[in-house]
Amino acid sequence: MMVIYDRQTKELVSFAGQIFDNGEWREPTLAEIYPGEDHGNWDVVYVKEAIKYAIPLNELQLKYDQNGTPIGVERKPKPPQIFITTNAPDTDGDGLPEIPADASSKAAIAIEVKDSTGNLVQQELPLNISTTAGSLSARRLSTQNGQATVELTSSQETVTAIVKVESDGAQSASLTFEFMPIGA
């Protein structure tokens, strides 16, 4: 299989299998695959065992040798993922943690950032935290050994609050809370 890439951007353009020509299998040329197109910046890497690369092109990246020469393709690493948990209970069994709507009750929110294998990301990552109701003890903070903690303080309104945690290059996460009437 041939993998076509742009030499300047290092982006993958396409891939093609062999063609059967005059009774024999052979690799096609760029001109055969893209007739009439300008492919002056394109180059090709030939990959054995092509069947394992039958995944979407946007999930692949070029693989380089120690000299920076493309030698094949590999699956792109998955971005880290953010996970959120809280100490607030779910007393009514609807799957949403609850905080009394008294403008002073708090819930601790534990944040973890894990890599694709489930391990905590050890490098410090800046986090942006937002909420649709109530207030947070911090809107920006950084992880330490893949973990961080923030507090959500309820408002007096009996509403749901969605807390969202984001970081560049990571899959964001959110957690919905209910601010419950006092005595409910």
Looking at residue 184, its pLDDT comes to: 56
Cα-Cα-Cα-Cα dihedral sign, residues 105, 90, 87, 146: negative
| CA-CA-CA-CA torsion sign (66, 69, 74, 76) | positive
Sheet holding 147-153, edge to edge: 81-86, 106-114, 147-153, 135-136
Per-residue pLDDT at 10 exceeds 70: yes
CA–CA gap between residue 37 and residue 39 (Å, rounded): 6
What domains appear along the chain, each with residue ranges and CATH number?
Answer: 2-75 (no CATH), 81-180 (2.60.40.10)
Q: How do residues 124-169 score in pLDDT, each as one tens digit?
A: 999 999 999 999 999 999 999 999 999 999 999 999 999 999 999 8
Per-residue pLDDT tens for 85-125? 999 999 999 999 999 999 999 999 999 999 988 999 999 99
pLDDT of 52 above 60: no
For position 50, what pLDDT does the model report?
A: 58
